[in-house]
Structure 1
């Protein structure tokens, strides 16, 4: 039997990048998926592109708005009968040094990452704690939340905050068999990293003991593990997926 057979997952920020890679890995393991993204057209297209028909749904969702996250979670229950897995992945960057960063740029990043993750935790755990089987919530942090990155006082603060939020939430809902874990990807091949200057890419690769960038599928496989019964006694953990960078 596939690892996630008969389970239903909600993934935010799923129209592209890591979110879409996670969705692909989930459906390959038998899960039904509800994909949320700010870009409705793109997320509906992404759901269709998974090639599993009615097992995948795409919906517009602004994670900063609790009502929209609630609607995403409820869609999973209405269509598939349960919400077993929640992946809080939606994120943005507004990089600038503190001298140049505006208050709006700071607030936008904090809102999407911290409020967005909290909204996902609140919606999903509210449903999961009433289910006999509980559920698994995975929050996507970043290695930037561990070490801090130049020009990312907003992003690094938000991603570090997700770690603390993960641990606090795990303590609140563990008694209801709801597990909460986080992943911290490092330098991963995405459209965003591909657009970087080659000298910037080279400097980052030089920091990685494994000597290469990670693949989105390698992040997704760890998320599958945390979503499945293979990690049934893990909660409140933070899994680095960074090839040994910043250890």
Structure 2
């Protein structure tokens, strides 16, 4: 009897040890995302989303279509774009093959987007970006250039091309340009990803002032860590969303960022100019 009781306690001890290991490793957390039914809040709007075949961009595309918009996603991989449009399963989704690091083709690509929609683009989300994992003092010139050509230069010339189009195309309606920055763009940094996001935040403020008289409302969103393939290195347990540094003890889902961006694309957000809103679950307040 004593031997059986001893074995039972040993099993309990092992179970408790395993449970504590799971907790220390981040546990298993369940996230309930409130996806508000916004009906047709984007009805009639034609929206271009760069880098729209995965992650935050894809979530924005899905939510925008649900809210009544027609969407064009852009990217460098045509097969991936085709598959994404097929997966979206909507007649209101299309794509334009566009490598935003090739700034010389920006005006032509804007024209392709306008043609796809039959003559009008109402909003653009500058979402395309890359995030290498080398940090100071190991950043190479090649890596620096690669990040800046996409994140900073690419965003600038996409914005410039669409702003030129809007300045020439008269409209009685507001147009929206949303730039995806990062919570990391609000703090000092010594590696190109965060520095490029600082650039985007500055561009948002400057363009906001310059384009408001033309009825173009430029704003931005600065997410913290989001559960996407690009930021998988930042997740403590790979596919888990646990984050002990965050007041909510987790990272964001792409769908949560998309919920807010749909609001920013709508006519409910026609008095915001040049602002970059931090969506990081309070991380920047705590750290």
TM-score by length of 2: 0.79
Q: 1:45 to 1:230 in 2, by over 3 A?
A: same
- CA shift, 1:45, in A, is 1.4
2:176 is aligned to: 136
SS of residue paired to 2:284: coil
> Do the aligned residues in 1 keep the contact of 2:226 with 2:254 (CA within 8 Å)?
yes
Q: Distance in 1 between the 2:74 and 2:228 partners?
A: 19
How far apart in 2 are the matches of 1:46 and 1:226?
24
Within-5 A mapping of 1:64-79 = 64-79=101-116
SS in 1 for 2:160: helix
Q: Which residue in the other structure is 1:210 paired with? A: 248
Q: Name the residue aligned to 2:13.
A: none
1:60 aligns with 2:97: yes
CA RMSD of aligned residues (A): 2.1
- How far apart in 2 are the matches of 1:230 and 1:16? 27
Give the match's secondary structure for 2:283: coil
Q: For the structure 1 residues 206 and 77, does the alpha-carbon distance in structure 2 shift closer, same or farther, using more than 3 Å as the test?
A: same
For 1:45 and 1:202, the matched residues in 2 are separated by: 26
Distance 1:142 1:97, change over 3 A: same
Q: d(CA) in 2 for partners of 1:136 and 1:238?
A: 13
Cα distance per residue 1:52-83 (max 9 Å; x no partner): 12x21122211112343333322232132211
Give distance in 2, aligned partners of 1:217 and 1:237.
Answer: 21
Number of aligned positions between the proteins = 244
- C-alpha distance 219-169 of structure 1, shift in aligned 2 (>3 A): same
| Structure 1 gap ranges (5+) | none
Would you say 1:167 and 2:237 are equivalent positions? Answer: no
Which of residues 134, 143, 155 in structure 2 aligns to 1:105? 143
Gaps of 5+ in 2: 1-38
Contact 1:187 1:204 in 2 (8 A): no
TM-score by length of 1: 0.92
